[in-house]
Amino acid sequence: MTMQPFVTFLYYLLTACTSLLLMANFLKAKEWQRELLYVIVLVPFVLRLLMLK
């Protein structure tokens, strides 16, 4: 039994945490440029969480 599945799980957990932080920052942001930036950065994280990319 290798550590690989456990390490992969941790990476998905990190991705989920980062996604939540980005969403929180998006909601807190006051300027539209920052809001747009957070949304664009969030997309690849969600795609990975959904096992799409």
Partner 1 sequence: MHILRKLLIGLAGLALLAGSGVSFRTSRTLLEPVVAGDGVTTVKKLSDYFRGIEGSINDCNVYILEGKEPGGTMVLMGGTHPEEPAGRLAAWIVAENGRMEQGRLILVLSANRSASTVTRLGGAYPPDFDISTTFGSRTFRLGDRWSNPLDQWPDPEVYIHSPSGQHLAYVDIRNLNRCWPGRPDGMLTEKTCYALMELIRQEEADLVIDLHEAELQYPVISTIVAHEKGQELAVLVSMMLTDMEGFKMGMEFSPPNLHGLSHREIGDHSDAVSLLFEAPEPFLDATRGRTTREQLLTGKDEFVVRAGKAGLLFETIDEHGWPIDVRVGRHTSAVLQTMETWSEMQPDRALRCSGVPRYAEVIGRGIGSFLKDPATADPKRMWFE
Contact (Cβ atoms closer than 8 angstroms) between residue 38 and residue 22: yes
Q: Which is nearer to partner 1, 2 or 16 (CB)?
A: 2
Task: Name the H helices within 1-53.
Answer: 4-28, 32-49
Number of residues near partner 1 (by CB under 8 A): 23
Min dist. Cβ of residue 16 to partner 1 (A): 14
Contact (Cβ atoms closer than 8 angstroms) between residue 26 and residue 35: yes
Q: Which residues bind partner 1 (CB under 8 A)?
A: 1-2, 4, 7-8, 11, 26-27, 30, 32, 35-36, 39-40, 42-43, 46-48, 50-53
